[in-house]
């Protein structure tokens, strides 16, 4: 049974043709909605095998939450729940850069709940969530 609200949300997302991040509790229909809309890229972070295919972890424990090969570049994203970030939060991104090939180029992002876009000296770009989603369109 499909709820009227579900159909309306699905229609709005389909018409927007933007990057959308669906968050919510398990078993409420997020994955079904993505499949129904024919998403270009759908990553279920609750599926361990799928998560590992799109993430990075070094033997030393450095991690990157999401790594996406977009053809022209590779986008490595670290997601922080904090409203503040610092260069120490770039450890995983720097580790990935050290082992990654230079072609295609690696773009390093931190997406966070803060309000100010910034760029650290090590080349990591820091994006507030709304701006990052808009940039991914």
The DSSP-derived string for 98-126 is: HHS-SSSPEEEEEEESSS--EE-TTS-EE
pLDDT value of residue 107: 92
Of the candidates 42, 60, 63, the residue with the CA atom closest to the CA atom of residue 52: 63
pLDDT value of residue 3: 43
Classify domain 44-137 at the CATH class level.
Answer: alpha beta
pLDDT value of residue 112: 94
Q: What is the per-residue pLDDT across 17-36, written as a single tens digit (0 to 9) for each?
A: 556 666 667 777 777 777 77
**Per-residue tokens: 35:** 């499949």
Q: pTM of the prediction?
A: 0.65
Q: What is the per-residue pLDDT across 41-91, written as a single tens digit (0 to 9) for each?
A: 666 666 655 655 677 888 888 889 888 887 788 889 999 999 999 999 999
pLDDT value of residue 5: 47
- What average pLDDT does range 111-130 have in this prediction? 95
CA-CA distance, 35 to 5, in Å (whole number)? 17
Q: Is the pLDDT of residue 4 over 60?
A: no
Q: Is the pLDDT of residue 40 over 70?
A: no
What residue spans define the domains of the chain? 1-42, 44-137
């Amino acid at each position: 049974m499909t709820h009227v609200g579900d159909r309306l949300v699905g229609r709005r997302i389909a018409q927007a043709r933007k990057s959308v991040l669906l968050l919510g509790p398990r078993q409420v229909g997020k994955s079904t909605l993505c499949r129904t809309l024919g998403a270009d890229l759908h990553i279920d972070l609750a599926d361990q095998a799928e998560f590992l295919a799109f993430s990075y972890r070094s033997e030393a424990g450095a991690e990157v939450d999401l790594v996406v090969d977009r053809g022209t570049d590779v986008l490595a994203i670290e997601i922080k729940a904090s409203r503040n970030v610092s260069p120490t939060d770039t450890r995983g991104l720097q580790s990935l850069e050290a082992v990654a090939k230079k072609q295609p180029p690696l773009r390093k992002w931190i997406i966070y709940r803060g309000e100010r876009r910034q760029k650290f000296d090590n080349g990591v770009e820091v994006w507030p969530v709304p701006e990052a989603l808009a940039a991914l369109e």
